[in-house]
Structure 1
Amino acid sequence: MRAFIKRLLSLYPVRRPLSILALMAIDAVALLAGLLIAGYLVAGENRVSEIFYLAPVLLTVWLSLFAANGLYDRAPERRNPGALLAAILLGAGLFAFGSVIYPETQFVLGEILVAAALALLLDGGLRLLYEQGIEFIYRRGFGLITTVVVGDEESRRKVRRIIEQQPSAYSVVGELGMSGDRVDLGLLRRILDRTGARNVVLAGAERLPDEEFLSLLHSMRLRGVRVRVVPGTITLMSGRSILSQRVGMPLMEVGYPQLDNNQRLMKRVLDIAGAAGGLVVLSPLLLAVAVLIKLTSPGPVFFKQKRVGADETVFLCYKFRSMYQDAERRQAELEAENEADGAIFKIRKDPRVTPVGRFIRRWSIDELPQLINVLKGEMSLVGPRPLPLRDYERMDEHHKQRLSAVPGITGYWQISGRSDLSFEEMVRLDLYYIKNWSLSLDLKIILKTLKVVVTHEGAY
């Protein structure tokens, strides 16, 4: 149970919704209790049932005011007692105004003032207990945001000392020095892989050239790792710094243009809808193929292989097993017969492929389990194909530029010849896709993929 809670709280996308829901529940309980007690004290028992009847409207108005006053934002904003007081007084004012327009609510000024005072005391107390509980959870090691600190030695020491002294959600699990005016991205990736850190605090960002800084941001974005920067003196003097997570120092969270975020969110929505819909619609076919594979050759139904995805992250890629069990061991024996150039390995009449495997490869059915990878966020419906570790290790550095996008089940390469193209042509097409990506291009590729699958172009 402890491990489950720790895992749940470590998922950053879940933390914010959970926090907001918990705070809204606290506020609703405090506000409703204030209204009920005030109603009972002023008008007696009969008033309680009337307030219950009005409760949905009253709570909706009051909670909306709480949201407008930043009481569901991050810790520094939501802990402002002035914002809580302002939201409750605004709500009381609206109720007083509403009671004049709609006298059937039967609210009187005394009842409203008592309700506001009680709600302020109850909500303030409950919110204080909530914040104390959050700090207790952090001290027990739950919900910590694992962090890698990047910067020169002195800056890293200062950041680490402040984080360790403050009861915050941050936990330093790794450090990386800066080599002059650059960050070793390869080493940073290895540290992130080893520690599982989901946050990077960068001290000394002003010393990085623009191109170096943007490469770092792009790399971290592909990994879903947040980047926060310790601002320099000039930035602090401008008054625009953002105090993040009450960590004891000003931290600026670096974001991307909203338009770009919206497009990528839409791409993710398309991925989830397409993958979930595909698994449901194709479930009879998937089940039939699974049975055929199990009946015709020994071994598991699915083939799981380590592949290299966005920003050189390694994940398990799912496919229907189309080869005999000893296929990976036999690959070393067949290297001399490789018909593909560059880093990839392909043989048209591969002796390791089973009869059923040859059929499902011809119709690209073996790739369908990768819809699971799409749901997990490891792949997209459209993007560069993820290559096995064997192929990745044989790539030149300039080939690895194709890893600057989330890999896909289909892509520009698949609709342009697939296995009939050389490795260099595949890389060139992948880079073209990355540089010219748009949702409309994704949709065109998906439609053209259907034609390619039906005509078996480049499939073997």
Structure 2
Amino acid sequence: MRPGETVLLDHSTARLGTASRALRGTPSVQRRPRPRAGRAPWVARYSRTLTGFELTAATVAAVAVLGTHPGASPGTSLFWASVALVVVWPVLLHATGAHAERVFGSGSDEYRAVGRAGFGLLAVAGFVSYAAELDLSRALVVGAVPALTLGTLLGRFAARCALRRLRAQGHCAKRVVVVGRGTAVLELVDRLRRERFAGLEVVAACVTSADRDRVTRVAGVPVGGLDDVLSLVGTLGADTIAVTSASETAAQYLRSLSWQLEGTGIELLVAPGLVEVAGPRLHIRPFEGLPLLSVEQPRFEGWQRVVKGGLDRAVAALALLVLAPALLAIAVTVKVTSPGPVLYRQERVGLNGQAFTMLKFRSMVMDAERQLDALRAQSTADGLLFKMRVDPRVTPVGRVMRRLSLDELPQLLNVLGGSMSLVGPRPPLPGEVARYDTSVSRRLLVKPGLTGLWQISGRSDLPWEEAVRLDLRYVENWSLALDALILAKTVRAVLTSSGAY
């Protein structure tokens, strides 16, 4: 499939005739006693905590408004409007879906719901003030409501960070049964286990009879057939079913399964087979009543790229100016502690395969390249890279610099010169690029970055395939918002020295 094409939500239904014939020989989902999945206890506690914060924030906003108007005594319109703010704000957030379980922890729907509540409150306050000729202060309409919305968004972000940490530790997770063909099921199981912060714990799998033995050996969870879905859900107390794209889970099967889940409270998720494409590129569009998944082309040019380039250079210039004393101190330390140049220059491959010279503070001995062949057998990497957790070529000062990523600061000069970006894929070596296949070569469609998804996800601890997958995900789903998020998380990754050696 080429980017920009419109595909079926479950791509296998494009061959509906073949799939329907296959389904006649596939065990159908049996009707069983319907399990009842209530709201998980953590969801209620999380919602109550958010409501408490929202009441507190609204109270602070109301007190601030009344504090700026000492004459707003009980009985005045401003006083009652401030009291109403405390009551109405949490109600509006519940009404817009900001407390729905599905928005907790991931996606932008939660923030959109808060934004809708803030916009609605602002519109209602302005309309009522004008229509009823009430003497409402600008501090309430123009000041308190926007500030309350912003404060709630910041509170939601902090709560989400806490929730993702809990999920990474195995708490506050949904219990998931994965359904589909063996290979697709194993890929989804592996993905969910790697990204535990998503809050989906795989407790069972249901696959075709031909795949059952293989999945049982690898998955490490109970495995049933396609007709065992509801029985496993009831036995294991699962609250979510994730269906992968495969002919055995085509339209007829999926429709039957969805009917049997009616009234159970069990969530049904469908993986469209486009796991690396997300965000604004995916849209559900109905055509004559048929729901189709529209996949927009990734954008590698346009005004956002112009903004990105301008911000890259501006931030790099400012960082070089602010960090100048630290850069000088590091340079002097490198020079006096080991013989050789201060900067290490290495050829890397950038945008559209163009070579450039990447700069780093030298962290190894002078003849590090000549020693590489002798050490290659000790590499712990599983792909094209060379990795050693304790590399004898690294100097004592270089080890400290690497742990804190200080050796990469000269790359700000590359960013200022335009050969690199602040955020992007890892800059590859020419030898790596020579062995790229077609899919990996997509990393070269954007500038390499000083940091990226690989930097905030484990750095040198990542296996080769995972590092490539993260780079490709960035290329496919780039946005200014994603860049800002990666930069924010890079600070934490550097401070914790995660995967740095």
**Which category of TM-score, normalised to the shorter sequence, fits these structures?**
0.3 to 0.5
TM-score, length-normalised on structure 2? 0.40
| Higher RCO (C-alpha 8 Å, min separation 6) | 2
